[in-house]
A = this chain, B = another copy of it.
Amino acid sequence: MHDIRKINVMENIHDENDHIASHVREDLTEKGIFAINVMGAPGIGKTSAIKGLIEKLRGITPYVIEGDIESDIDARALRALGVKTFQINTFGACHLDAPLVHNAVGNMEFDEKGVLFIENIGNLVCPAEFSIGEHALMLICSVTEGSDKPYKYPLAFEKADLILLNKVDLAPHLDFDEAFFMKGLRALNKDAPVIKLSAKTGEGFDEAAAWIAARAGR
């Protein structure tokens, strides 16, 4: 970020991105779609969380935009469950941006009001810099990552509206220091609820689904 050309171009790109993100958000709001930007590191359980939440959000129509650098493994799994899923492959790019999501939303059919999960690229850094037109940012982290992540990757934790602490079923086998984690998190973000989650035991899904349903106006 020491290159002045890069800085100027990046500022322009961020401005354009935010402008398009506002349009995406307005468009989705008009359609009655509550959009959630799902962020987290690779393999942290983003797709599993989305699947579990969709199951709990009965009566609310789910939609998914799957962001992946390559592959459509997750999109195929979601479609197999009957969930309307649009695949974005970035082929190298490390985050979704508003133009990509704008294009996806324009190509999706939203027959009914509902919740749109937008699964970002697995990356705890870059996606946090780009609004993609979401109404809420759901950050998924995990006890397997260690308790120092808010200190090392502050932006994602600062911006999150909801934090899911995943894989808590593995906690007995780990040295996760919850107090240290919460201290780092609360220095950045006073309000976002932290819900402990396990795709294995089902812990936390009811609570997280209730949070989403309340904000989606259901």
A interface residues with partner B (beta carbon < 8 Å):
1-3, 5-6, 9, 12-13, 41-44, 68-71, 73, 90-94, 99, 121-126, 129, 142, 144-146, 148-149, 151-155, 167, 169-170, 173-174
Contacts and interface: CB of A to CB of B under 8 A. Distances in A.
A9 B153 CA distance: 26
A3 B167 CA distance: 38
This chain: copies in complex: 2
A162 to B, nearest CB: 19
A68 to B, nearest CB: 6
A216 B129 CA distance: 39
Contacts of A99: 2
Given A3-B13, A5-B9, A6-B13, A152 B73 contact: yes
Given A1-B93, A152-B68, A155-B92, A43 B146 contact: yes
A15 to B, nearest CB: 12
Contacts of A12: 5
A1 B90 contact: yes
A73 B151 contact: yes
A78 to B, nearest CB: 14
Nearest to A124: B42
Nearest to A174: B170
Nearest to A40: B42
Contacts of A94: 94, 123, 125-126
